[in-house]
Structure 1
Amino acid sequence: MAGALDVPEDRKLSEYTGWTRDHWLAQADHMLDALKPFGSPTFARYELPGRPSRSGFDSDALEGFARTFLLAAWRIAADTGRGPVAEDLIARYSSGLAAGADAAHPEAWPRIPQGRPGQPMVEAASIALGLHVTRAWLWDKLDPRTQGLVADWLGEFVGNPTWPNNWMLFQTVTEEFLASIGARYEESEILRGLDATEDWYVGDGWYTDGAGRNFDYYIGWAMHLYPLLWTQMAEGGARNDRALAAREVYRDRLRLFLERYFDFFGADGAPVHQGRSLTYRFAAAAPIWIGEMFDCSPYDAGLSRRAASGILKHFAEHGAPDARGLLNMGWHDPFLPMVQDYSGPASPYWASKGFVGLLLPADHRVWTSPESPLPVETGDFESSIAPVGWLLSGTEDDGVVRLLNHGSDKARHHTPPFDEHTDVFYSPLAFSTVTAPDTAPEAWARRIGNHVALIAPDGRVTSRGAIEPLGVADGWGGSRHVPGFEPEPGAGLERVEGAEIETQTFVKGGAEIHVHRVTAPAGWTVREGGYPVAGPEQPMRGENEKLPGAFAMNDLGVMSRIENLGGWTAAGVADELGANALGAFSATPYLTAEHPGGTAFYRSKVMVYRLPEEDGE
């Protein structure tokens, strides 16, 4: 494909990926050039193909400007505002700012809503950050009328509420930019987002995104990114002392976060497939670059570049961006069942955050140090993140990383009344770098992959509701939950009276031993599913009635196995079509047993791994 893959690899500097800063620049240029045909006459709007978001066409077009402007801003700064690439981008986005912020212009952006949260607030933050990092080359060169129009548009954020999660930080950075240009702002609104993150900090460098146990990649590309960039924006201004003091706190937290973050990536660069907004893809590299920018990475700079370049290269080699140079709504290929309804055709361009490393000059150590191997490339490992309830397992021989989930559930309430909402990106027991959940609604309703479920005599299947962590340590994790029925999407669970499932997992060398203590009515069926595997063709499958046990294997040699170690009486493989982001066909091995009533134990061995190439052909 065109773009970064046209740049010769440098295996001396980059032993593992071959990629250098030139690849990052080329990929950014390729993506930005590909957007031109979709820009409006003034480039104030980018109207990309795809399903519209719930916010509507106009909001999606604004999103196209704002999120690609973030990428353009990093790219302009990488060229220090000089050269033909920077000049073209400055002209294009200056024109877009002048038209988009002008309410009387036919290409005007939707306004920031008053008295309630609205999508333009998200995009305002990207525009503010982009203007901040390109100030000398773009903002300072705008004519006074355009500066006033942009300040007025951004200024509509002032005095308005946001959602009580990472959205509060959008207000922080937007109003800090307004303060820096002498426009109207409210100091309390800048600080309340930062204050809120203190309530959400759970330890070891991790936050929850708002109340509850909402742990995913937003912690890196939002909860660490914005506060540290804010300290740069505020330095030298009215909040200088607070910014300098906060920077040390935020640096220490990011250092703790990064101690385990490199464990999330397989040897092929793939991130563990967990959490919402995964269509942002290589935004997962953002906290790695920020760690280098603020000199707080716990590891050497060569590891930082190896991890970040590995992520970008993984997606580039799997069709993102696509043949047109566009980021589609999916993971590798387009796949709407994994995309939330708040995302539109331009939403994937929050992947621009993954290019923030371009702010680091060419002679920075992160670009000049030889690459170092990822944790999964140096040996098998088991690690844990206690405040989150996660257990990670990596195996060197196949480069696969697995995540056992004993803590992140996205449930709204963990105390009565239990207004729980289960989510396919959070509720499963496990995730990995080589598998993805079956996210199509019909498949999710069956709750097979990486779930322990009760099946009532009438066929209804329970979901894993609010997770109560029991603890994690390297190689072990435990949690319990009360199973319940979700009668319709988004509804609160109908808990099964007197039922409970407690799960403990023991992991070594990629093999997982699961022990489930199940309390449930007699005559109900207990079922546990392994990892779903997916591909363009029907996975191979097999069952062993004597164990019992079952397996499924895709065309890439990714094998998912589940075996009885006690209590299970039957096995099978469930097939799905069009349910999985990694391929049209997916299959999940599972075990079942009829529950005797009261409390009983069920033990299983669960594995997902990649066969050596010669065995996987």
Structure 2
Amino acid sequence: MSRFILPAPDRVLSTWTGWSRTHWEALADHLLDSLVPYFSPGGARVDLPGRPSRSGVVSDGLEGFARSFMLAAFRIGGVRGVGCEELIERYKRGLVAGADRDSAEAWPRLTPLAQPLVEAAAIAVSLHETREWIWDRLTSSEQEKVADWLGGFVGSRTHENNWRLFQVVSEQFLASVGAPYSQDEIDAGLDRIEEWYVGDGWYSDGYGQSFDNYIGWAMHLYPGLWARMAAATPGAKYDDRLQVYRDRLRLFLDDAVHLVGSDGAPIHQGRSLTYRMAAATPYWMGALLDATPLTPGATRRLCSGIARHFVEHGAPDERGVLTLGWYDTFLPTTQAYSGPGSPYWASKGFVGLLLPPEHAVWTEREETIPLDEADQVRAMPAPGWVIHATRHDNLVRLLNHGSDKAPVDEPEGIEPAGDPHYDRLAYSNHTGPELSAQAQLDRVDNNLALVDNAGRSSYRGRIRRIAVGERSASSWHKAWLGTDGPWQIETASVVYGGWEIRCARVDGPAGATVRSGGYPVAGRSLPTATTGKDPVWASAEANGLCSTMVGLHGYDDAAVHRDLGASAFGPHSATPYLTTTHPGEPIVLVCAVLLNRDVVSPESISASVRVVVEGNQVRLELPDGAVETVQLGQAGDAA
């Protein structure tokens, strides 16, 4: 495969990113053409190298075909097939071979809860968006075989999360072409997501507190695509639901515009991060459904920034392949269901290509997003987050007091294990949680934990919310040390610019260490580490990114934890942390948590924030003269 060269930047149309539709088409073509060597002889699978998923290599090959088919479909549909003849034939051929149960390359049949259900939805969406150029050109026999394979969805069962929408779109496609389907199952799937709607445009991905990128690239994507299918189905009723989905998407985008840096780097939080460019999905969908508060120029500026960010950081790789990882291959950031074809859900982030070249989103000049103009603080009560972002260094920080992805059906007294993609107190767009095997035992980064003499660390499993204010949020969790516990740890975050003032009330056993960790920084070389005593502080720096913890009340010591192979942002990582010894009675602790690219003076930070602790009340006098009062001791009220 020859080296990928993007078209020259268009600095007239796209002042911020230099990207136009030409760049998006070039990237899509490069990704699709680079897959050609990995197609199976009959064309029904894309057998990419890499670690297999738990579903096995045959399912993985289907995944590679289906997910890249979605990218091809957006590419074909947006230009109405012009210049895409080879691409059309490639996927038409594979479709026929895979759907034929007697073929040597027959796809696995659709069975309850199985991974092929996911890929069937991608194929259904792709067939709808390319109907004129692929489905309509199949023979009646071929159409029957495809419909028979997709028909495995009828009467089947899915997981109770975004998978319900896979059944919705698959059966709606069947309805649109006159094949057997169940209207009751379509309606039931659409009704189910109503149970997960939590307000302000936000869904949970299933029951509980599951908030991450899936809200944008699944919960808002598939209802919109379903409506496009329903519009092509004689007699289908969709107008009322579509209006609801449009209204919710508009609300969601008011928040979601704050989840990406001006450099295009999205926040590194949640599962399936290997989908990368899929982070652009909801912004494009806003334009596609005419349901966005963003101007066309701001939409393209935001989405192009995301795509450009990953391209500039090595995705796709020198082969033109999207690997299992973030920038490059990094398996700890994936899940057991992730196979070599999984990263091609990046295709969702290309849904904007369905908008024709003459659409305003492609023809209007780029416009700014909020962080281009000024620092941002955004409270998001629905997911339990506060976002604070600084313009000069392109850092977006997420303070997490509401998303844990914990199951809701465990008996009282049993705490779910923490997941580092969800249980951390904070995330950012230029750092990621440490994910090595040892790191998942140590749980240092962005965690407030009890540590016993054997080195066992407590974890933050189920997050119990207390409040979300304009620039603050609070929650508590139960801390266990093996079978000992639980103890209550209550945390409140107060934002001041790029700083988080982290206040905590910690119960625990006498003699245990209380440890509060900051952001982990990472790079290809060993991060520098610095500590100090007056005030107590620790700092780690890598690639110009500095993570600092400054004790403001109650902490006695500081250090820097190092790890290897734990971060998606580089092989060497380091996390500053503060400690004290627990006296056996609840204590109040206060520290400043910083992630920035500036020269940091811990002494100045300590001197500029006046902390007064009276019982469970913390009074913060901030450098700008503002006063914030944090009332701790509310954990029992939130139980």
Q: Shorter-normalised TM-score: what interval?
A: over 0.9
Q: In 2, are the aligned partners of 1:3 and 1:29 still within 8 Å (CA)? A: no
Identify the match of residue 107 of structure 2 among 93, 106, 109: 109
Identify the match of residue 94 of structure 1 among 81, 92, 95: 92
Give the AA of the match of 2:54: R
SS of alignment partner, residue 181 of structure 2: coil
Residue 495 (structure 1) shift: 6.6
SS of alignment partner, residue 403 of structure 1: strand
> 1:514 corresponds to which residue?
502
Change in CA separation of 1:417 and 1:202 when aligned onto 2, cut-off 3 Å: same
Give the AA of the match of 2:571: A
Q: In 2, are the aligned partners of 1:412 and 1:419 still within 8 Å (CA)? A: no
SS of alignment partner, residue 586 of structure 2: strand
Residue 552 (structure 1) shift: 0.5
Give CA deviations for 1:469-524 in whole Å, capped at 9, x if unaligned: 11212211111111124x6xxxxxx5723x11111111121011000111112111
* TM-score for both structures, normalised by structure 2: 0.92
**Residues 1:156 and 2:152 are matched in the alignment:** yes
Percent sequence identity is 51
Residues 286-365 of structure 1: matches in 2 within 5 Å? 286-365=281-360
Change in CA separation of 1:348 and 1:236 when aligned onto 2, cut-off 3 Å: closer
Residue 107 (structure 1) shift: 1.3
Identify the match of residue 449 of structure 1 among 422, 445, 448: 445
> 1:615 corresponds to which residue?
none
Give the AA of the match of 1:29: D
Residue 5 (structure 1) shift: 4.5
SS of alignment partner, residue 215 of structure 2: helix
Aligned equivalents of 1:225, 1:125: Cα separation in 2: 12
Aligned equivalents of 1:6, 1:343: Cα separation in 2: 29
Give CA deviations for 1:18-48 in whole Å, capped at 9, x if unaligned: 0000000000000000000000112111100
Q: In 2, are the aligned partners of 1:412 and 1:421 still within 8 Å (CA)? A: no
Give the AA of the match of 2:332: P
Give the AA of the match of 2:485: V
Aligned equivalents of 1:201, 1:419: Cα separation in 2: 25
Residue 2 (structure 1) shift: 6.7
> 2:60 corresponds to which residue?
60
Give the AA of the match of 1:132: H
Aligned equivalents of 2:303, 2:250: Cα separation in 1: 16
**Residues 1:50 and 2:58 are matched in the alignment:** no
Q: In 2, are the aligned partners of 1:482 and 1:495 still within 8 Å (CA)? A: no
> 1:547 corresponds to which residue?
535
Aligned equivalents of 1:246, 1:189: Cα separation in 2: 16
* TM-score for both structures, normalised by structure 1: 0.95
Structure 2: unaligned runs, 5 residues or longer: 600-639
Residues 378-457 of structure 1: matches in 2 within 5 Å? 378-413=373-408, 416-457=412-453
> 2:548 corresponds to which residue?
561
SS of alignment partner, residue 219 of structure 1: helix
Say how many residue pairs are matched.
598
Aligned equivalents of 2:203, 2:10: Cα separation in 1: 37
Residue 278 (structure 1) shift: 0.2
> 1:271 corresponds to which residue?
266
SS of alignment partner, residue 6 of structure 1: coil
Aligned equivalents of 1:121, 1:427: Cα separation in 2: 29
Aligned equivalents of 1:393, 1:69: Cα separation in 2: 37
Give CA deviations for 1:164-184 in whole Å, capped at 9, x if unaligned: 110010000000001111111
Q: In 1, are the aligned partners of 2:419 and 2:461 still within 8 Å (CA)? A: no
Aligned equivalents of 2:4, 2:374: Cα separation in 1: 30
Residue 370 (structure 1) shift: 1.4
Aligned equivalents of 2:227, 2:197: Cα separation in 1: 18
Residue 237 (structure 1) shift: 3.2
> 1:8 corresponds to which residue?
8
Give the AA of the match of 1:124: A
**Residues 1:183 and 2:179 are matched in the alignment:** yes
Give the AA of the match of 1:402: R
**Residues 1:118 and 2:114 are matched in the alignment:** yes
Aligned equivalents of 2:3, 2:216: Cα separation in 1: 27
SS of alignment partner, residue 467 of structure 2: strand
Q: In 2, are the aligned partners of 1:450 and 1:530 still within 8 Å (CA)? A: yes
Aligned equivalents of 2:597, 2:428: Cα separation in 1: 12
Aligned equivalents of 1:193, 1:526: Cα separation in 2: 45
> 1:81 corresponds to which residue?
81
| Bigger mean CA offset, 226-235 vs 210-219 | 226-235
Residue 538 (structure 1) shift: 0.4
Q: In 1, are the aligned partners of 2:176 and 2:234 still within 8 Å (CA)? A: no
Residue 460 (structure 1) shift: 1.2
Give the AA of the match of 2:128: H
> 2:195 corresponds to which residue?
199
Q: In 2, are the aligned partners of 1:4 and 1:23 still within 8 Å (CA)? A: no
Give the AA of the match of 1:496: G
Give the AA of the match of 1:281: R
Aligned equivalents of 2:3, 2:253: Cα separation in 1: 29
| Bigger mean CA offset, 138-147 vs 345-354 | 138-147
Q: In 1, are the aligned partners of 2:404 and 2:463 still within 8 Å (CA)? A: yes
Aligned equivalents of 1:588, 1:282: Cα separation in 2: 28
> 2:26 corresponds to which residue?
26
Aligned equivalents of 2:285, 2:97: Cα separation in 1: 32
SS of alignment partner, residue 47 of structure 1: coil
